[in-house]
Each structure stands twice: as C-alpha cells, then as structure tokens.
Amino acid sequence: MASIKLRFKAHVDNGKKGTLYFQIIHRREVRQVKTCCRIYAGEWDERDSCVVKMSPVSDRRADELMMVRERLAWEQRKLERVLDVLESTGMAYTAKDVINLYKKQLSDHNSVFEYAKRQSERQQELGRVRTSETYQQALNSFRRFRENVDLHFDMLTADLMGQYESYLRAKGLTRNTTSFYIRILRCIYNRAVEEGLAKQTDPFKRVYTGVDKTPKRALTLKEIKRIKDLDLTAHPALEYARDMFLFSFYMRGMSFIDIAYLKKKDLSNGYVSYIRKKTGQQICVRWEHSMQEIVDKYSKHPSPYMLPIIIRQDGTERQQYLSKILFVNRKLKRVAAMAKIAIPLSMYVSRHSWASIAKSKNVPLSVISEGLGHDNEETTRIYLAAIQTNQIDKANNSILKEL
C-alpha cells in the first residue's frame, strides 16, 4: 500500500513562510501534492513531521496554526480514503493515480468560499441587492479570518466557529455584529446541507446567533435646532452632512436610501410622492419651505435626482449611495460634537427623533405609523417603546431626588 508523508519546504528567505506538501510513495514512485498551507521554518518539527507552535507566539498565530493543523489532518484523511478506494478495487495503481483521484474528489465538492460567492451572485440575479451585499460582507470577513485559506463544508466545526467569533470580538465588534456575520454563514451552510454538499453537524451550536436589543437614540427639538443653527459655511462637508440629516427630519424621518433615489419629478403640486425602498409603500409628504431651502442650496448639480447623493447614472448608483451614507454618518459625528450632542449622531437618529417628537406632542400612533411608512401600528408601537425607555429612568431620577 502507498505511504503518505507530510513534508515542508522552507522559503529561501527565512523570514517568509514555506510550503507544506504531502509526499505519496508507491512502488518506488514518488509524487507530491501541494497544500494551501504555509508556515515559518521555526513552526516545523522535522523529526515528527508536524506543525508546532513557536515560543513565544501570539494568540492570533496560535489560532492560525490550529487551523493549519486541522486543514492538514482533513487533507490527510482524504488521501487515506482515496488509498482505501484504490486498494478495494484489487487492481494495480500508481502514485499518480492517487493524486489524480484526490484532486478529482476535491473538485467534485463545493468549497465554502466558492459556494458563498455563488450564493451572493444568485441573490444579485434575483434582484435582492441588499441580501447579496450582506452575503459578500460575511464572506469577506470569514476570508480575512481564514487568511484566504479556503475550506470544505465538512471542515466547519463548532471549534472553528468559536475561534471565528473570538476573532470578531477581538476586533472590537459588538455581539450583534458578530451574530450578523455568523447568522449569514449559518444560512449559507444550511443551504449547502439542503443541497447535499454537507452533513448537518450543527457547527454553530456554541456561538451567539441572537439579536441584542439596542436602545434607540432620539433628539429633542432643542437639539435639532442647535444642529440647524450651526454656522458650517467654512466646513462644506459638515454642512452637507447636516443638511442631509435635516432634510430627513423635515421629510418625517425619511430614510437615506429613499432620499438618495428621490427625483425632481417626484415633487408635484406641493407634494412629494415616493415609494419606500424597504417596504414598497407609497409615501406622500407635503412640501415645506424648509425642504425647498435645502434643495435650492444644491440645485446646481445636473441630475434627475433631487439631492447630490447619486451623481452619475452609470450602473454604480447603489455604490454611490453606500459611499455617501458612510461619508455622511462619519461627518455627523463631528457635527454632533460641535452642537454639543452627546449621542452618536447618524442619519437613522433623524428618523427616531421625528417619531419621538411626534409622540411627545400627542400625535396619534396611527398618524406616526403612516408618517414613518410602517406596515402596521404594532411595528410603530415597538419602535416607539424602544425610543422612550429612557423617559422612565428620568421620572425615577426625579422621584429619588425628593427622597
């Protein structure tokens, strides 16, 4: 029977990683099959033909070496199964036959990276642009964790997912963000199981996949006015971000994506009418002088869009919108500091603020729901409940002060 040995070829530059490969020997014929794993010379134990940890070593490198060992063990098991298959036929075979069958079996299966990429492309083809983007974001994150070392679905283990979660948390991400990436990976994995590409082993059983409730932030009218009254003429970028925030507020908490795609033709007979991207609902807003002031300020841009968020109509509209919202939210943090606003300011705060202020003025829930473009009042009730929780603490504080 053929023998399988793990070998290491050091890089000519000792400061760079060398190559790990398997050596197949059968009837004096020697063949090699490269792996995708790379290690430093000091991480190789020649006597025992195995990967070891250098001392000292960072926690990150220790995790990487663990992944390397898991990948090598998986590849060796694959090669051993190929040998069992060839031996069971009772027919003569060569070392080259071993490698050819091994490579064929690898190509017959979808790798995690390739499959996730195809799923993202499929969502794009179905017109689910946002879903496609989230799939790609999760894939990019997992690829960085794996240092671009691909793997097959039967290599996804609970330990590996635990390492990935630790990696994300070490980068300072919140539990909701880590859960976001892991839930998408779980969705891709479950689809692969449905298609028979993997056996269900529940690799996500020990990682967090829930959603923590986060407090909704809302401004008062006084704080909105402080933002409005800022003199930002010397800071065009900050003024632009502030104006986008105010326009959203004036438009009853209009979401940034709807502002981006709002066209000049949507304004007619003193009303703006548009379809919400998120829900497909039609929204009609009475045009006010404050809205016109902002539009007039940016009226020079030659575009069918009302405000200069999407500048070019060349197939990159979505990318332009995503770039602008990141830019605006970043600038709003500086605007908040200048207006002495304590909470992290973003475009979404404008939406929360409009709903909160409307409620404080005893606007009926049904009216607020319609203004926000919610599907039903229960959605609005949950939305407002999350915004208003701090009012209970304020009331309690005033009571305790009288004790």
Average pLDDT, the chain: 85
Helix (H) or strand (E) holding 223: helix 221-228
pLDDT in tens, 36-60: 889 999 999 999 999 987 767 777 7
CA 266 to chain centre: 32
How far apart, in whole angstroms, are the C-alpha atoms of residue 285 and residue 167? 46
pLDDT band at 185 (very low <50, low <70, confident <90, very high): very high
Q: Which residues pair with 268 in a beta bridge?
A: 271
Q: Is residue 364 very low, low, confident or very high in pLDDT (cuts 50, 70, 90)?
A: low
- pLDDT at position 390 is 47
Each residue's pLDDT tens digit, 99-118 = 988 887 776 556 899 899 99
- Taking the C-alpha atoms of residue 332 and residue 325, their distance in angstroms, rounded to an integer, is 10
pLDDT tens digit string along 1-13? Answer: 789 999 999 999 9
Check: CATH 3.90.1200.10 for 221-401?
no
Question: Which stretches does DSSP call E strand in 213-350?
Answer: 267-268, 271-275, 282-286
> Which pTM does this prediction carry?
0.61
| Stretch (H or E) spanning 41 | none
Cβ atoms of 368 and 387 closer than 8 Å: no
In the chain, what are the helix, strand and coil shares in percent, each to the nearest 5?
Answer: 55, 10, 35
CA distance 304 to 136: 30
Quickly tell me which residue has 């990948």 as its tokens: 71
Residue 325 backbone dihedrals phi, psi, to 5 degrees: -70, -35
| Residue 387: per-residue pLDDT | 45
| pLDDT confidence tier of residue 321, bands split at 50, 70 and 90 | very high
